[in-house]
Amino acid sequence: MEIKALHSLFLKCNAVCTDTRKLQKNDMFFALKGENFNGNEYAEKAIEIGAKYAIVDEAAYNTSSQTILVGDVLKTLQELALFHREYLKVSIIALTGSNGKTTTKELINVVLSQKYQTTATIGNLNNHIGVPLTLLSMTNKTEIGIVEMGANHLKEIAFLCNIAKPNYGYITNFGKAHLEGFGGVEGVIKGKSEMYDHLIAHNKTIFINTSDAIQIEKTKNATTFSFGNRNESLDVNIEFKAAQPFVTCHYNGLEIKSQLIGDYNFNNISAAIAIGNYFKVEDGLIKTAIESYTPSNNRSQIIQKGSTKIILDAYNANPTSMNAALLNFEQQPGKKIAVLGDMFELGNEAKQEHQNIADLATSMEIDKIIFVGENFYKATISSKTVQQYKSFSEFESNFDLQNIKSTTLLIKGSRGMALERILELLN
């Protein structure tokens, strides 16, 4: 079936779904395959539940008038997303970077939604499946789409840009993330900059933070909209005031008090303010939006449990974000305990990067540091205020609730470590 014809059927459906457990009546089911599952096997069940159509790529499962056989379900999903994106002619802002993507995306969305009908990436659905699903969630009511793009190897951002065809783009930063897939920091810069390459080639607008020299260098030949914390000829000036613990900044004579901790979140807030300014959202509405946003999903959350204040930043971690979190944590008043979990996808750099973070953490004014995970367990540490556990279960067996009372507790680690489980121990 041609994509145009499939799109006509899609418009008669409520939404696209790839998981029968989440399927709603009149959805279009795409039978994707994974390492441990074959979505084709669920096509009949999807129709029984209420799917209007099921897209399959194995003839044995093309069993009714509601099943549609294609050559490759994933490729068809991506082609349908591209067709739908061009059909809607919506303005798309693409977003990538090593750290802060999701927080920045949510801030941009809350600001722009003060004036426009927006559709943004849900959670971190930012890969070769998530980006198409985001595009297909947009309707003719969507005025601006905000599409987060993640990558762990070269040419992935370029591929996603060719599906989303963004009108605007922003890269949060270039840090030490996914070093294994990118082959080092230079690979990270090259991979993330594929967004710049796409936008420049199509004469689109790039938002740049002038505090980042790489952003300035990579966009010399681009149409840009600049912002920063400097008294220069920028399009938007935002002044950092404090992060004690929440970030406060000044913009166009307004004081904006966020609910985000850590001065590293200043750049994320600034991007949302600048993009709101570009799209002519009123200053007062920008202030309201930023001040009303509260983090969730284990990202820089402040949680109070009895006398213990918890900084929960356990959604993900890499050397750059771990460094920033520790620098912020050291500034917190009172007794401080840090629980740090392994950082994943660092490849050959894993041993050295974990040692670097261990050296940094133990050099700081932090009362107690607990390392969890095989890589941190191997780090050489001489401090008597440090504990090292090879696994979470080993840490759990030695956990003493009494030791963390009347403290500020930082919890930071990669997604695979799932350190938010510590909250259950506190209960």
Cβ atoms within 10 A of the Cβ of 220, count?
8
Residue 176 reports pLDDT greater than 90: no
**CATH for the stretch 301-426:** 3.90.190.20
Sign of CA dihedral 414, 416, 422, 424: positive
* Angle (deg, nearest 10), helices 101-112 and 265-278: 30
Instruction: Answer whether residue 231 shows pLDDT above 70.
Output: no
Residue type, 251: Y
* Per-residue pLDDT reduced to its tens digit, 232-277: 679 999 999 988 789 999 999 999 999 998 888 999 999 999 999 9
The CATH-assigned architecture of domain 90-292 is 3-Layer(aba) Sandwich (3.40)
Number of C-beta neighbours around residue 290 at 10 A: 25
Mean pLDDT value across the chain: 93
Handedness of CA 133, 7, 26, 44 (dihedral sign): negative
- Superfamily classification of domain 3-72: MurE/MurF, N-terminal domain (3.40.1390.10)
Give 196-225 pLDDT, tens digit per residue.
999 999 999 999 999 999 999 999 989 999
Please check whether residue 180 is in contact with residue 345, taking contact to mean a CB–CB distance below 8 angstroms: yes
Residue 423: what residue type?
L
CA 347, chain centre distance (Å): 21
Phi-psi region of 315 (alpha: psi -120 to 50; beta: other; left: phi over 0): alpha
Q: How many C-beta atoms surround the C-beta of residue 308 within 10 A? A: 16
d(CA 227, CA 378): 42
Residues 6+ apart with CB under 8 A from 246: 257, 258, 259, 260, 261
Reference 207, options 223, 229, 190, 184; nearest CA is 223
Least confident of 138-147, 292-301, 388-397: 292-301
- Determine the average pLDDT of the residues in 399-420: 90
66: how many CB neighbours lie within 10 A of its CB? 14
**Cα–Cα distance for residue pair 300/328, rounded to 1 Å:** 11
- The gap between the terminal CA atoms of the chain, to the nearest Å, is 55
Q: What is the pLDDT of residues 47-85, one digit of tens each?
A: 999 999 999 999 999 999 999 999 999 999 999 999 999
Residue 124 has pLDDT above 90, yes or no: no
Closest by CA position to 92, among listed 200, 249, 199? 199
Secondary element (H or E) of residue 327: helix 319-330
* Residue 364 DSSP code: S
Q: Where are the domains of the chain?
A: 3-72, 90-292, 301-426
Question: Comparing 3-72 with 301-426, is the CATH topology the same?
Answer: no
Q: How far is CA 397 from the centre of its chain?
A: 32
